[in-house]
Every structure is written in C-alpha cells, then in structure tokens.
C-alpha cells in the first residue's frame, strides 16, 4: 500500500457509490445523438462530457461528502468501458479506432453486430455483455479511470475511481460464439487480475488513495468455485506492493457467503447494501472479521425516490459502530438509478412532494447521517425531524379498490385449458402457421412527437390531436397491410412511453418533468411515481385500438402494459407489499382488457418486458416474487373469452430463472427477445417442453442494422428445428419506436419473406 497517503484518506466517511451521468437536462444524450448523426464532431462531444463530469464532481464536493466517486461517467456503459479498458475487444471490431470500436460494440454497424444488451441485475439499466474467449488477452488499453482522476484533480477535487470488479466483470460476460464448450469467462480470471493489478499500481503512482470495485454479482447465490475465485482475486489484489486502498461494493442485495470471504482478505473496506434485504444488517453485525475493516453502510436507497427515515438510518449506523473498525455511510448503490434533482420539478403536488428525494437530496441525506454520527443527532435535529414528518405522510386511499381486492377469488386468475383456447382462437382468427406480427410500436416520427407536444402545449386542441393520431394510425395500418403482416398493431403513436402513458391515466400515479434515468446508452426513461392506491377513472386505449381495427379485416392487437412492468419501471410506494400494489394495477388492466374485448379486438397483448427484471437475486426470495407477479398478470388477463387471444412480450433472452414463471403466465402467445443471442431461447423453451405459442424475435431492433432475408431465414430455421411451426410466430424482438422507417421497412419486408419461405419448407 502507498505509505504516503494522509491520515484523512484512511476514512471514507460519507459518500455515494455512484451518480447519474446523462446530465440534468439529458445533455449527454443530446450530444451523443448529434455525434452519431454527424452533426457535431468528437471534440464537441468530449467538451460536453468534460462539462458534465466537472459539474458532477463540483456538486458532490460542495455537498459535504467526505469522499467523491470518480470514473462514474460513461459515454455508454460502464461494462463496455471496462471491456475496452482491459482490451477485451472482440476481433471483429479491432480494425476500428478506439472511439469507433467503442460505439460499434455498443450499437453495431451495417456490417457489424453489436454486443448483446442485457438488464443490469434487477434494475431498469442495461449493460453491454463482454464477449470473451480462450483467445482473449487482457491488457490495459485505455487510461479512462486515470485520465478522469487527473481531470478532477486539476479542478482541485480528489476522487475515488469506481469500476466494476473482476468477479462481476467475468460473471456478467459471456463466452464468445464459437468458444470451445466448457469454456467460461471465469477461466480468464488470472489474466484479468494481472490487468487490474497493473491499473491499481498506476493509480497508486497517481496518488489515488481509494479505489472502489463494484461487485454486485456477489449478492446472487454463488457456487463454491465462484467464491474461491473471489477469494483468490482479492487476496492477490490486496497483496500488491503498491496500490490504493480498496473498497469493494456489493449491492442490490445481501452479500451472504461472499461477505465472510471478502472480509477474510486484506481489502480495507466493504460497502454493504442495508436497504434491499432486511437480513443484510444481521449478517454484517455478526461477521467478526469485519472488526478490523472499514464498512460503508448503504443506508439511503439508491433505487427509489422516497425520503429516508433518517432517524432509523442513524440508529442502524450507530448500532454497527461496535462491530467494525471504521464506519462510513453511503447510498445502497449508485444513484445512477434515480433522477437528478427534486428541485427541478414544478408540478409535483404536496403532500407527495414532501415524501420524495432524488439524487441531490439523497446526497444531502447521506451527509446528514454522517454528521449525526460524528457530531451527535442534536447537530442535525432540524433535518431529522423534517424527515420524521415526511416519512409519516400517507398516500391516496381508494376504498372501492380495496373492497374489490378483498373480494377476489381464484377463478379471477384462471382461464380454460390452452388446448381449448387454441382451438377456439384458430377457428376465429384463421391465421397461417409462422404468423407474422410486430411487438407494438412503430417509429416515432417527428410529426408524431410534434403532435403529442402540440397537445401538451395547447398548440393542438383535442380534436386536432385525434386527427393527427388517426392519420398516423391509418398510415401504419396501411403500411403493415402492404408489407403483408398477418396480425397488425396500431403503432402506439400516442404513447410517450409504455409505462408513463398508462401512469398518466391512472389515479395513484404522478409524473415528473425532468425525472430522467438512463436505460441504456443514450436512451432514458422517466419513471412515474406510484404513490397511492391505483384505479382507472376511464378507458385508456380503447378509442385508438378500435379505430385501428375499423380500418382493416386483419386482426389488430390491443396493446397494454402488464402489472409487473407497471411496477418495475416506476418508483413504487414502499408502504405496502408489492403484491398488493400489483393487484391494484392488475384490476385496472382487467377492466381495460374487457373493454377492448367488448369493442371487438380479438387479440390483446399485455407486455411484461420487465418480468425477469424484478426477480430477486437470491433464490430464496424468488418464489414469492414469481407468485405475485404471475398472479397479477393472470388477474389482468383472465377475464376474457376462450376465443380471445392473449399475447405477452418479454424483453430478454436469458430466462432460465423465470422459465416456469413464463409458463405460468398462461398467455396464448409469448414473444421474446432472441436476435442478439442467436435464438438460444428457442432451445431453452424446447428443453422444458413449453406448450404454448412463441415468437422468438428474429430481428434485433436495438441496432440500426437492417438484417437481410437470408439471415432471418437462418434464424427461423433454427426455431423451426426446435419447435413445431404451428406454435411459432415470426416477429422482431421488441417494439420499433426507437428505429427509423428506412431501417424497419426493409427489415419487416425481409421478415415476411423469410416467414413465407419457411412455411414452404416446413
């Protein structure tokens, strides 16, 4: 360890594990998109990035935190940054410059597929999956963490560089296609440790006092071999002759066995999440090996927007003082997952507003807890009692909804057998095998966005807005007919976002103005806040869907967002079990489904792209989650006739853990993301004898690349080889709203061609 560090640097004190980076007004998003479109050059992009880093560091330093995190900025994703940092760049990108390779891995190019994009644990953030093979040779290739440290130092701010740790990096990576069977990324641990070692010693040379290595992968159940690898990695890193102090952060759950393993190595500090799992506190306070460690207690929820019960947090922290050598306080995880600043909001009403805290406010909460510990609660008495008051405020109550919930019986969550339904639906719909469809949204053109904005600002009145939307719906229906799709959609032009659209119409939800959080790359979402009892004052989608169906004889799918996703992509009240909140949303959706059915829609899709996202990391908590998630979906969808076909859509491809849940949803047709993972899903489904219909996505809509007919045919052939054609659908792997027409039109035509060709072959 570097012996010259100041005594001040030995403690972490108060800190946050990470911070948002997209910009309070989405400055980075705008700069990235301008850069990709060729409207600004790389210097301008770099200038925006440097400005965002500077304002973040300065704000955090001025807030009174003792330790400011560094290297939390990213142009796209921290896993991608780390892959490039250590030279884990697959061969297909290596002819490109550093910047071009970076964005090609993120987004693909016409001739180059991107890396796979996947959910970051149970959050709404997505990371790029590093592709590793036995040929991967790690080597320190960029100097991003070092450069950002210097940049902050030049502003007079000492930072603590943060990056994913080696275990999490490897456990989240995947074997590159074509790797020998049996190869696992974890096999590469020794080589990777050497690169981390080199980075750490270079950071020590720069005078860096602390480095934070994020190991959220450790809050899931890990095998004995993985725990041995963990011990090996941190024994080796902590034995380096010259290195900064190491803070290893495990968050999104409790560390379990990994806690003792880490505490047994010579790393100086562990950051633990005391919010996500109530069992974590006991684990930490009884681990004797923590007595000579610094423990950074994650007491402020980094994932939600509710104010912290500061008095409770202070007493939790105080209770830990005797169990550890030195106590720091922090957020439970990076603040990446919450919006920047509550003070930017002008339309949030009291008393809701008083219950909320965004990133800036959470930083202040951490500072307050730190001061209470150091100076005594009297020093922050005002803050503590304000928090007492705020956390006592109750949300909206709806007795009618509560009465309906209390009266629910099992038959409200059950339909007839799949065989019987399939038969009734075959007769009513008369679709070919390998029926073609899309997932729901069509590209959101400038006109569509302008019309929605026009309604908001009053430039368009309700009638003008309806005309604009109907014109768009008609155009999209005619296009789909022309392309030759079998089941049509209305295109969702009226929706800003699949959750927000419904949240705006349901009671019990509030919307923010600037509450953006990063979803992936430049994509941001503005999660609504579910703060009270939920109910549906009036139908939400019936007019648009009915209009679309009136234009065509082909079936149009009604399109709703399911209860789990309505929760997963919102900030949800923490004052009652999620299961109850989910059922409230499900009842509102059930009424909407009935209204759509009555209006003549023969197919209704209830999207649950987030089903896997909320899955708790520890197996012992998964069953309970799956039960209420499935129960809520079934409550929403079981009120229909046998002949009404229920579809669902799931946005991921690795669904080993939720495969039985998908089965239990009992949807007639399930469409899934599959294109970026070579249709692996289909094999998995065949493996469990999945008995309903499936639409494995053959066209990767997350990339601007247009797939050729040949490529789609190969994917389809893989599907047909694994599952009977009459139970297969042909579709893209997600909604098209982030794409442009010149991309999707040829892709959809190729998709219809490929389906026709496959029908002939089968």
In the annotated binding site for Zn(2+), the residues are 649, 651, 673, 734
| Near ligand GLN in 205-234, by CB under 6 A | none
Residue 232 per-residue DSSP state: H
* Residue pointed to by tokens 């999956």: 129
Q: Reduced to 3 states, what is the DSSP secondary structure of residue 381?
A: helix
Type and span of the H or E element at 60:
helix 42-62
Radius of gyration of the chain, Cα coordinates, nearest whole angstrom: 26
Tokens of 18: 């990470």
**Cα maximum dimension of the chain:** 80
Q: Which residue is nearest to ligand GLN (CB)?
A: 735
Task: Indicate whether 651 belongs to the interface with ligand GLN (CB under 6 A).
Answer: yes
DSSP E strands in 66-142: the ranges are: 68-70, 117-119, 126-128, 131-132
Instruction: Give whole-number Cα distances, 669 to 57, 63, 435, 470, 492, in Å.
Output: 49, 51, 11, 28, 20
Q: What does the buried/exposed string (b/e) look like for 292-326 if buried means 16 or more CB atoms within 10 Å of the residue's CB?
A: ebbbbbbbbbbbbbbbbbbbebbebbeebeebbeb
Assess whether 702 carries a catalytic annotation. yes
Q: Give the shortest CB-658-to-ligand GLN separation in angstroms.
A: 15
**Residue 563 contacts ligand GLN per CB under 6 A:** no
609 binds ligand GLN (CB under 6 A): yes
- Of 302 and 521, CB closest to Zn ion: 521
Q: Which is nearer to ligand GLN, 372 or 675 (CB)?
A: 675
Q: Is position 735 an interface residue for ligand GLN (rule: CB under 6 A)? A: yes
Q: What one-character DSSP code corresponds to residue 675?
A: G
* Residue 692, binding choice from Zn ion, ligand GLN, none, Cβ under 5 to 8 Å by partner class: none
Residue 520 near residue 77 (C-beta atoms within 8 A): yes
Of 163, 572, 734, 758, the one binding ligand GLN by CB under 6 A: 734
Which residues make up each annotated binding site? 26-29, 119, 124, 439-441, 492, 523-524, 569, 607, 613, 649, 651, 673, 734
Of residues 413-442, those binding ligand GLN (CB under 6 A): 439-441
Residues 737-756 that bind ligand GLN (CB under 6 A): 737
Residue 232's alpha-carbon distances to 227, 237, 654, 746, in angstroms, are 9, 9, 28, 51
The helices-and-strands tally (H runs, E runs) of the chain is: 26, 23
Q: Using CA atoms, how far apart are residues 105 and 112, in angstroms rounded to an integer?
A: 9
Taking CB under 5 A as the rule, does residue 651 contact Zn ion?
yes
* Number of shown-chain residues binding ligand GLN (CB under 6 A): 13
Please report whether residue 606 would count as binding ligand GLN according to CB under 6 A: no
670 belongs to the binding site for ligand GLN (CB under 6 A): no
The single residue among 188, 498, 585, 682 that binds ligand GLN, judged by CB under 6 A, is 498
Among candidate residues 337, 531, 647, 702, the one labeled active-site is 702
Among Zn ion, ligand GLN, none, what does residue 608 contact (CB within 5–8 Å per kind)?
A: none
Tell whether residue 734 is a contact of Zn ion (CB under 5 A): yes
| 160 interface partner picked from Zn ion, ligand GLN, none, CB below 5 to 8 A per type | none
CA nearest to 305, candidates 274, 271, 254, 348: 348
Q: What are phi and psi of 718, to 5 degrees?
A: -60, -40
Of 113 and 439, nearer to ligand GLN (C-beta) is 439
- Residue whose CB is less far from ligand GLN, 196 or 502: 502
Which span (56-64, 524-532, 606-614, 699-707) binds Zn ion, by CB under 5 A?
A: 606-614
**Of the residues 609, 629, 696, 732, which one makes contact with Zn ion according to CB under 5 A:** 609
List the Cα angle 426/432/438 in 5-degree steps.
100
Q: Which residues bind ligand GLN (CB under 6 A)?
A: 439-441, 492, 498, 559, 607, 609, 649, 651, 734-735, 737
Please give the positions annotated as active site: 702
């Amino acid at each position: 360890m570097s012996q010259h560090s100041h005594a001040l640097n030995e403690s972490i004190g108060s800190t946050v594990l990470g911070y948002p980076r997209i910009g309070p007004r989405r400055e980075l998003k705008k700069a990235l998109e301008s850069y990709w479109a060729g409207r600004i050059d790389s210097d301008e992009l770099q200038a925006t990035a440097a400005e965002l880093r500077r304002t973040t560091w300065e704000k955090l330093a001025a807030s009174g935190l003792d330790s400011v995190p560094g290297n939390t900025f990213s142009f796209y994703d921290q896993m991608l940054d780390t892959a490039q940092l250590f030279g884990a760049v697959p061969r297909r990108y290596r002819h490109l410059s550093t910047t071009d390779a970076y964005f090609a891995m993120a987004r693909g190019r016409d001739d180059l597929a991107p890396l796979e994009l996947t959910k970051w644990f149970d959050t709404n953030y997505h990371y790029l999956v590093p592709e590793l093979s036995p040929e991967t040779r790690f080597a320190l290739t960029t100097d991003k963490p070092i450069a950002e440290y210097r940049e902050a130092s030049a502003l007079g701010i000492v930072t603590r560089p943060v990056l994913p740790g080696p275990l999490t990096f490897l456990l989240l990576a995947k074997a590159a296609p074509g790797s020998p069977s049996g190869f696992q990324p974890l096999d590469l641990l020794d080589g990777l440790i050497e690169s981390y070692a080199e980075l750490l010693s270079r950071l020590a040379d720069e005078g860096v006092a602390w480095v934070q290595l994020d190991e959220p992968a450790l809050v899931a159940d890990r095998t004995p071999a993985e725990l041995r690898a963990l011990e090996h990695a941190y024994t080796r890193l902590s034995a380096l002759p010259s290195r900064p102090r190491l803070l290893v952060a495990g968050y999104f759950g409790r560390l379990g066995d990994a806690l003792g393993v880490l505490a047994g190595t010579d790393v100086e500090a562990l950051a633990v999440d005391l919010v996500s799992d109530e069992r974590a506190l006991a684990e930490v306070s009884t681990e004797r090996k923590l007595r000579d460690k610094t423990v950074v207690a994650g007491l402020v929820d980094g994932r939600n927007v509710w104010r912290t019960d500061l008095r409770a947090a202070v007493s939790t922290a105080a209770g830990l003082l005797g169990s550890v050598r030195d106590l720091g306080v922090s957020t439970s995880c990076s603040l990446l997952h919450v919006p920047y600043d509550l003070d930017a909001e002008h339309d949030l009403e009291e008393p809701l507003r008083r219950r909320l805290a965004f990133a800036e406010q959470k930083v202040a909460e951490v500072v307050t807890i730190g001061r209470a510990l150091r100076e005594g609660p009297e020093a922050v008495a005002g803050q503590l009692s304000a928090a007492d008051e705020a956390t006592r405020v109750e949300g909206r109550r709806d007795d009618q909804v509560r009465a309906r919930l209390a009266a629910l019986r099992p038959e409200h969550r059950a339909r007839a057998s799949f065989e019987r339904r399939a038969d009734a639906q075959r007769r009513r719909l008369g679709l070919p095998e390998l029926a073609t469809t899309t997932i729901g949204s069509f590209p959101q053109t400038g006109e569509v966005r302008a019309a929605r904005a026009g309604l908001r600002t009053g430039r368009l009145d309700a009638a003008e807005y309806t005309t604009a939307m109907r014109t768009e719906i008609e155009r999209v229906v005619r296009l789909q007919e022309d392309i030759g799709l079998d089941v049509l959609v209305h295109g969702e032009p009226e929706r800003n976002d699949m959750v927000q659209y419904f949240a705006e119409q349901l009671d019990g939800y509030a919307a923010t103005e600037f509450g953006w959080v990063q979803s992936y790359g430049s994509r941001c979402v503005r999660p609504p806040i579910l703060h009270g009892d939920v109910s549906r004052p009036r139908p939400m989608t019936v007019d648009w869907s009915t209009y679309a169906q009136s234009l065509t004889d082909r079936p149009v799918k009604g399109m709703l967002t399911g209860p789990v996703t309505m929760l997963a992509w919102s900030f949800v009240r923490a004052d009652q079990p999620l299961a109850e909140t989910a059922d409230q949303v499900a009842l509102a959706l059930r009424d909407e489904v009935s209204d759509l059915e009555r209006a003549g829609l023969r197919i209704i899709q209830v999207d649950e792209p987030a089903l896997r996202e909320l899955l708790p990391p520890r197996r012992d908590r998964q069953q309970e989650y799956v039960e209420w998630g499935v129960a809520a979906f079934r409550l929403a969808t079981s009120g229909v006739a046998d002949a009404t076909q229920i579809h669902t859509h799931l946005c991921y491809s690795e669904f080993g853990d939720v495969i039985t849940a998908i089965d239990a949803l009992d949807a007639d047709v399930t469409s899934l993301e599959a294109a970026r993972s070579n249709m692996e899903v289909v094999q998995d489904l065949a493996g469990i004898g999945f008995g309903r219909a499936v639409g494995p996505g053959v066209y990767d809509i997350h990339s601007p690349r247009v797939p050729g007919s040949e490529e789609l045919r190969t994917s389809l052939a893989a599907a047909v080889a694994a599952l009977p054609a009459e139970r297969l659908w042909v579709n893209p792997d997600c909604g098209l709203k982030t794409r442009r027409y010149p991309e999707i039109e040829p892709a959809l035509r190729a998709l219809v061609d490929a389906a026709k060709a496959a029908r002939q072959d089968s």
